[in-house]
Amino acid sequence: MVDQNSNYALQTSEVYVHYGKKMAINNVALNFPKNEVTSLIGPSGCGKSTFLRCLNRMNDVIDICNVKGKFLLNGNVDIYSPDIQVETLREKVGMVFQKPNPFPKTIYENVAYGPKIHGIASSQNELDEIVKDSLHRAGLYEEVKDRMDDIATGLSGGQQQRLCIARAIAIRPEIILMDEPCSALDPIATAKIEDLINELKENYTIIIVTHSMSQASRVSSKTAFFHLGNLVEYGETGKIFTKPDKEQTNDYITGRFG
């Protein structure tokens, strides 16, 4: 049951997702505590990315995808209510994808784009400040401050991903969804993103899908294990990786299947 507990940034219950007749998520209930990082783990096809995409209605654009369930933002906003505009929702719930996908625009324009279309900045000076602040928070400002007018696609993969994070936080979301944000990055770039995740949780709630067990254990305080569309186990990350309650979880994280 979804309750009105405001300690959660997002609460979900009785979530079912079908692609046509195929069930992808089967009666999942999962709540996300504010200012914490929650990892969603599980083998390919387990439903973790499908579930993540439900959280900012990314599945709306897939015709055959049917999402049912309760999704409550901050204890009182039903994100699937007809009254909620998807664009408004995505101001609150941002997303960073597996592959860095900067716009083919300048570094500045990449970060300024969101605040502009959402009307967040009231003046050029304010917009400049938002861009600078977002790049700072994403740990990228020092590296790009002298080349803000360069095309963003010229940045390294790790820098591009941090730019995408800066772009996501420029519109001041409450929740950031990350779908395998480091899978295309080298260990140093990965370490920078993980360090950033650790800093960002001060101000944001982060939900991250990852195939890397060690990444889940490093960055998150809560971990949810999915298998065949079911939520098998959810709990403190420390417990999941030392003594999970379910044998299926133990088998997966120790590499016995998947």
Interacting residue ranges for another protein, rule: CB under 8 A: 213-214, 217, 239-244, 249-251, 253-258
Pick 169 or 216: Cβ nearer another protein: 216
The continuous run of DSSP H or E covering 249 comes out as helix 247-253
Least distance from another protein to the Cβ atom of residue 239, Å: 8
Q: How far is the CB of 108 from another protein (least distance, A)?
A: 40
Indicate the residue among 143 and 251 with the shorter CB distance to another protein. Answer: 251
Q: Cβ of residue 257: shortest distance to another protein, in angstroms? A: 7
Burial of 188 (0-12, 13-18, 19+ CB in 10 A): exposed
Cβ neighbour number for residue 89 with a 10 Å cutoff = 20
By three-state DSSP, how is residue 61 classified?
helix
CB-wise, 135 or 240, nearer to another protein?
Answer: 240
Are the C-beta atoms of residues 54 and 20 closer than 8 Å to each other? no
- Residue 245 CB, nearest approach to another protein (Å): 10
Of 58, 62, 50, residue with least CA distance to 80: 58
For 88, phi then psi, to 5°, come to -65, -40
Nearer to another protein, 161 or 210 (CB): 210
